[in-house]
Amino acid sequence: MESPFSESTGSIAGAVPVSQEACEQSEMLARVGQMTRNLHDNLRELGLDKVLEKASIDMPDVRDRLNYVARMTEQAAQRVLNATDTAIPLQERIDAGAGEVLKGWKNTFNAPFSEAGYRDMATLTMQCLVDMQHDSNATKQQLLDIMMAQDFQDLTGQVIRKVTDLAHNLESQLVQFLIDYAPSEVKRETDNSLINGPQINPEGKSDVVADQGQVDDLLDSLGF
Amino acid sequence: MADPNTKFLVVDDFSTMRRIVRNLLKELGYSNVEEAEDGVDGLAKLRAGNFDFVVSDWNMPNMDGLTMLQTIRADPALAKLPVLMVTAEAKKENIIAAAQAGANGYVVKPFTAATLDEKLVKIFEKLEKAGG
């Protein structure tokens, strides 16, 4: 007779904690649900859901745009360097030709008069002028190509303006978010690295130099 | 001008900048120029060939110009090589760090042909004084 009783007591005793646990769990889930809801509402209130959605679309776009800028500027640099590589030897040939003709005429003037000498010099001069005409035309083509290579500035300028607008928008939204939610003390991380790249805006910064003169002055002052 | 056969190594990760420096050196009368794309490549070439002068960028992948400079100064075979830094790094602490590491000159980008010429002349003069 005892065993069914004790069994039933046991089952009742065991059932109580189980239902308590289930109760706590559902309460916790409800809390998490509520928090998620609050967070979602807050983000929506701040317009951050849209911002985040936009950022996830904009960021790959920015990357593509900056890649485009890198590609265009590199192409332009290569094009200009190719043009100067072609044009410099042409100019050197013009210079050498002029030197040769000049020297030839000086010798002809200094030597006793000979019609054959003048004739040879006239032929040489004419040939040289033909070469010079050809070389200076070819140089002009290279100069025009250098000019045309500058078209990247217009294209990259537009792209860069779009990227800076976008960065500015994101920045102001993030700053607003920080203002709303920042802890009272914000740690500022200072950048002490030696690899910073070109100084975009050296004016008013005491730890950077703005030109070669300042580099030289600094080294002089240190005795190097 | 120093010996026109002076053998230069130009170390920069951007091929356009290497071409510009190479062309400027050629314009200044030095046509014996080789190129390396970072510090590791630079050191390998320096150890393999008889170079007389190094022109190096700072910020490069694999090994930066400062580390390469320090390695050059620590290597007895290379220690006396003149090294001119040509870099966009314009913080005062960069310039001081390069000078302390033993750089013979420091040129900030963007630079002109005249600046490069002036620094080379100055370095060669100093070397001549030290040598003679």
Mean pLDDT confidence for A5-22:
55
Q: Between A and B, how many residue pairs show a Cβ–Cβ distance under 8 A?
A: 64
- Residues in B closer than 8 angstroms to A215, CB to CB, are 90, 95, 106-108
Contact yes or no for B108 and A215 at CB 8 A: yes
Contact B62/A at CB under 8 A: no
Q: Are strands B105-108 and B8-11 parallel, antiparallel or unpaired?
A: unpaired
Instruction: Sort out which chain B residues have CB atoms less than 8 A from A195's CB and list them.
Output: 58-59, 64, 89
Query: Coil, helix or strand for B110?
Result: coil
The residue count of chain B comes to: 132
Q: With CB atoms and an 8 Å threshold, state whether A209 touches B90.
A: yes
Residue type, A92: E
Within an 8 Å CB–CB cutoff, is residue B92 touching chain A? Answer: yes
Spatial contact of A209 and A219, defined as CB atoms under 8 Å apart:
no
Instruction: Determine, for residues A198 and B109 on separate chains, whether the beta-carbon distance falls below 8 Å.
Output: yes
Give, as one character, the DSSP assignment of residue B90.
-
Tokens 């709303």 — which residue? A180
User: Would you place residue A1 in the very low, low, confident or very high pLDDT band (cuts 50, 70, 90)?
Assistant: very low
Q: Over the stretch A76-132, which tens digit does the pLDDT of each residue have?
A: 999 999 999 999 999 999 999 999 999 999 999 999 999 999 999 999 999 999 999
Query: What confidence category does residue B34 fall into, taking pLDDT thresholds of 50, 70 and 90?
Result: very high
Using a CB-CB cut-off of 8 Å, the residues of chain B touching A78 are 16
- Can you give the pLDDT at residue A7? 45
Inter-chain contact A74–B92, Cβ cutoff 8 Å?
no
Question: Closest by alpha carbon to B84, among B100, B62, B69?
Answer: B69
pLDDT tens readout for residues B110-119: 888 889 999 9
Q: Per the CB < 8 Å rule, is B19 touching A196?
A: no
In sequence order, what DSSP letters do the residues of B22-82 get, joined into one string? HHHHHHTT---EEEESSHHHHHHHHHHS--SEEEE-S--SSS-HHHHHHHHHHSTTTTT--
- Tell me the nearest-neighbour CA distance from A212 into chain B, angstroms: 6
In this prediction, residue A6 carries a pLDDT of 45
Best of B94, B100, B119 to substitute, by most chain A Cβ atoms within 10 angstroms, is B94
Tell me what pLDDT residue A200 has: 72
- Note the pLDDT tens digit of each residue in A159-201: 888 888 888 888 887 787 777 776 666 555 555 578 887 777 7
pTM for the predicted model, two decimal places: 0.67
How would you label B102-132 residue by residue, b for 16+ Cβ within 10 Å and e otherwise?
Answer: bbbbbbbbebeeebbbebbeebbeebeeeee
Q: Is B53 on the interface with A (CB under 8 A)?
A: no
* Number of other residues whose CB lies within 10 A of the CB of residue A191: 7
List the B53-56 sheet strands across, edge first: B33-36, B8-11, B53-56, B83-87, B105-108
Structure confidence by residue, pLDDT tens digits, A23-63: 888 888 888 888 887 777 777 776 667 777 777 777 788 88
A196–B91 C-beta distance less than 8 A = yes
- pLDDT score, position A32: 83
With contacts defined as CB-CB under 8 Å, which chain A residues touch B59? 195, 197
Over residues A62-73, the pLDDT tens digits come to 888 889 899 999
The DSSP element (H or E) to which B105 belongs, if any, is strand B105-108
B8 Cβ contact list (under 8 Å, min separation 6) = B25, B30, B32, B33, B34, B51, B52, B53, B54, B55
SS (H, E, C) chain A: CHHHHHHHHHHHHHHHHHHHHHHHHHHHHHHHHHHHHHHHHHHHHHCHHHHHHHHHHHHHHHHHHHHHHHHHHHHHHHHHHHHHHHHHHHHHHHHHHHHHHHHHHHHHHHCCCCHHHHHHHHHHHHHHHHHHHHHHHHHHHHHHHHHHHCCHHHHHHHHHHHHHHHHHHHHHHHHHHHHHHCCCCCCCCCCCCCCCCCCCCCCCCCCECCCHHHHHHHHHHCCC
What residues in B contact A208, CB-CB < 8 Å? 90-92
What's the token pair of residue A77? 């640099």
What is the model's pLDDT at position A103? 96
